[in-house]
A and B are shown apart, each in its own frame.
Chain A
């Protein structure tokens, strides 16, 4: 299996531009997580989907951030407009969520976003 795939791996953009990060889940997985990692704030859960439905979006910083799952295997995280404080590494993770809920997550390699 190819694992979780994220694109692009690196993104440099100017403040005010729209940024779209992409994630492909592991085949058969039904839960999708977006995280942000910075030195100052550590690892933050932004949003969590189960079976394409957002379950917990309490970590989404503000309305500039939006996440979607147009189908069961693909997700996008969009920032519009972007700001320098959005600079971070963004990780996507997927899992096979069972009714028990003790499912480990598989992380992608991350997208390093720099907003100038």
Chain B
């Protein structure tokens, strides 16, 4: 079965430190990969996507993600976390007409 896994329910990081939110996938074919962020009482907002080409993708608010085909991973990263980055982050995969979202990782940036 095709799936997306976000192994950490919550990630805590100190403000100013680098952050990583993990995502791995198990799909057939070549997927398109996405990251979304959800702030409280809001809908999801698009952050970045990987289609093809350079494995390092840059997105909104200083976030970037690294595609690793051999490890089937698409981890979200940011060099220096801000308190305002605290939110719920979703990894998503599109394969053909199927969209699959991960369960979400809550990021808490501590001042």
A104 touches B49 (CB 8 A): yes
Option from A93, A101, A104 in Cβ contact (under 8 Å) with B43: A93
In the assembled complex, how far is the CB of residue A46 from the closest CB belonging to chain B, in whole angstroms? Answer: 11
Q: Do B43 and A55 touch across chains, with their CB atoms under 8 A apart? A: no
Per-residue CB contact flags for chain A residues 57-97 toward chain B (1 = under 8 Å, else 0) read 00000000000000000000000000000000001010000
Total contacts A-B at CB 8 Å: 49
Report B17-51 residues with CB < 8 Å from chain A CB. Answer: 32, 34, 36, 41-46, 49, 51
Complex alpha-carbon distance, A109 and B34, angstroms: 20
Contacts of A56 in B (CB 8 A): 97-99
Q: Is the CB of A107 within 8 A of B43?
A: yes
Q: Which A-chain residue is minimally distant from B34 (CB atoms)? A: A104
A101 touches B94 (CB 8 A): yes
Provide the residues of chain A in CB contact with B94, threshold 8 Å: 101-102
Contacts of A33 in B (CB 8 A): 99
Q: In chain A, what residue has the closest Cβ to B101? A: A43
| With A43-B104, A104-B34: A110-B43 Cβ-Cβ less than 8 Å | yes
For window 43-94 of chain B, which residues contact chain A by CB distance below 8 Å?
43-46, 49, 51, 90, 94
Asked if A102 contacts B99 (CB within 8 A), the reply is no
Considering the complex, give the chain A residue whose CB is closest to the CB of B45. A107
- For the complex formed, measure the closest distance between the CB of B82 and the CB atoms of chain A, giving whole angstroms: 22
A11-37: CB near B (< 8 Å → 1, else 0) gives 000000000000000000000010000
| A89 to B: closest C-beta gap in Å | 9
Residue contact A48 to B99, C-beta cutoff 8 Å: yes
Taking the closest CB of chain A, its distance from the CB of B53, in whole angstroms, is: 11
Q: Cβ of A105 and Cβ of B46 under 8 Å apart? A: yes
- Listed A/B pairs (13) with beta-carbon separation below 8 Å: A42-B104, A43-B104, A55-B97, A91-B44, A93-B43, A100-B51, A102-B49, A102-B51, A105-B44, A107-B43, A107-B44, A109-B43, A110-B42
